[in-house]
Amino acid sequence: MDALPQTLADPPIFAPDTFRLTEQERALTAKAREFGKRVLAPRAARWDREASFPVDNYRDMHAEGLLGICIPVDEGGLGAGFRAYCLTAAELGRYCGATALTWNMHVCSTLWTGALTEDLEMDAATRAEHRRRRQVHYGRILRDGAIYSQPFSEGGAAAAGAAAFGTTARRVPGGYLVNGRKIFASLSGHADHYGISRNLVFKDVFVEEDAALMPPGLYFQAATRWPHMFLTLSPTYMGLAQAAYDFCVRYLRGEQPGTPPVKRRMYPTKQIAVAQMRVMLEATKALWFQAITEAGPDPSKDAMLRALAAQHTVMENANAIATLAIRTCGGQAMLKSLPLERIYRDSRCGALMLPWTAELCLDRIGREALYEKGETDG
Ligand SMILES: Cc1cc2nc3c(=O)[nH]c(=O)nc-3n(C[C@H](O)[C@H](O)[C@H](O)COP(=O)(O)OP(=O)(O)OC[C@H]3O[C@@H](n4cnc5c(N)ncnc54)[C@H](O)[C@@H]3O)c2cc1C
């Protein structure tokens, strides 16, 4: 039997030895790549065509332990930290952007309440109470495959961090009364636990105290002291950038399954386009890897600007590479039976992710590079 063409072997996005990955990262990324290729990729066109929720994927991810990837090991999960999660998510995003992105929202409910909280300040009693409460949520995820949604957007300036959230949680005996309006959340209609679905209005909704994912004020502390938490929206798009590049190379070599074995690689114009894509991909990978590696509490100004630059670069380059791939491969490559058109649409959404949209990243980088804290021009 002929050996598989190299372009179909899908080497890791981040070669473990070259990027000196930890043992845990090697294992998780290998698992994600194998799972993504075998399980996610063959189903991706169907969810897209039907605009349906990838229910089967979530069932299988539960069986693989992936719903609990960031739940600490001593609480029953796989114990991935921030970088291990990002690298694993990028491998999944390569095969199904929609699944990786929605999974990100779910995972954040465990990463932000898990590993991240170890770096935040809480008195001993609050920490003990937080650990007790989160076990209720972690138990549901590990045991029942429960899916958690991230309900933030309200349609105003709050999700951009430019205003306070309008939704309120007022303390009452035994819990909180929630009032407000949320407009959008990934996983809507399919999550088991979330504040909202599309256009949900809360009116005096009672939420018991024990259901709190974090103690009061801790989310704000995380957002200000551990800002890389918002970089978790980018791994999906790192994977999509790689997928668009991989598709283009396979297609031009006449090795893309589902297309006739016609080679187009001998044309200099195609070679230049692939070179441009490769330059963008390498720059994106290098910057992103550095940003996810140095993520941690209280980042320096340089690290902060780099995180914003990494987010901007991943989100814009994923779409730029997909755009170039379409122009280079041509009309046939846009067939719905092939992944490129879907990769293009998925990649377009990356730049829209509040609070670090591509526009807002530029806005902040420009301002924060020119002004030190507290400086004004009178
Ligand atoms: C694929 C996808 C998944 C999503 N999943 C979730 C989710 O799980 N949970 C959730 O809560 N939301 C989610 N969102 C919603 C998203 O994060 C936005 O909050 C929502 O789309 C904002 O509404 P809008 O699109 O009308 O954008 P607008 O708020 O109108 O923003 C449009 C653009 O204007 C700019 N802008 C916005 N506010 C400001 C400002 N104050 N100053 C300067 N510029 C600004 C930004 O560049 C932004 O991209 C998702 C969005 C997408 C595309």
**Residue at 130 is within a domain:** yes
> How many domains does one find in the chain?
3
Domain of residue 271, residue span: 222-370
Same domain, 288 and 331: yes
Same domain, 321 and 256: yes
**Cβ burial, residue 378 (10 Å; 0-12/13-18/19+):** exposed
Same domain, 38 and 139: yes
Same domain, 169 and 263: no
Same domain, 176 and 165: yes
Q: Is the pTM here over 0.85, yes or no?
A: yes
- pLDDT tens per residue, the chain (378 residues)? 456 677 778 999 999 999 999 999 999 999 999 999 999 999 999 999 999 999 999 999 999 999 999 999 999 999 999 999 999 999 999 999 999 999 999 999 999 999 999 999 999 999 999 999 999 999 999 999 999 998 888 888 888 888 888 999 999 999 999 999 888 888 888 888 765 455 678 899 999 999 999 999 999 999 999 999 999 999 999 999 999 999 999 999 999 999 999 999 999 999 999 999 999 999 999 999 999 999 999 999 999 999 999 999 999 999 999 999 999 999 999 999 999 999 999 999 999 999 999 999 999 999 999 999 899 997
Task: For the beta carbon of residue 368, count every other beta carbon within 10 angstroms.
Answer: 14
Domain of 304, CATH number, reads 1.20.140.10
**Residue at 150 is within a domain:** no
Which one of 352, 356, 357, 367 would you pick to mutate in the ligand 1 pocket, going by the greatest count of ligand atoms within 8 A of its CB?
Answer: 352
Same domain, 192 and 226: no
Cβ-based neighbours of 346, under 8 Å, separated by 6 or more: 97, 98, 101, 236, 240
Same domain, 292 and 253: yes
Same domain, 212 and 232: no
Domain endpoint, select from 220, 238, 264: 220
Same domain, 226 and 365: yes
What is the Å distance from ligand 1's center to 26 Cα?
A: 34
**Residue at 68 is within a domain:** yes
Cβ-based neighbours of 377, under 8 Å, separated by 6 or more: none
Q: How many helices (H) and strands (E) does the chain have?
A: 12, 3
Alpha carbon 82 to its chain's center: 11
323 lines ligand 1 (CB under 6 A): no
**Residue at 42 is within a domain:** yes
**Residue at 18 is within a domain:** yes
Same domain, 129 and 213: no
Domain of 92, CATH number, reads 1.10.540.10
What is the Å distance from ligand 1's center to 203 Cα?
A: 24
What is the Å distance from ligand 1's center to 354 Cα?
A: 5
Same domain, 138 and 173: no
Same domain, 94 and 200: no
- DSSP letters, 11-27, are --SS-TTTTT--HHHHH
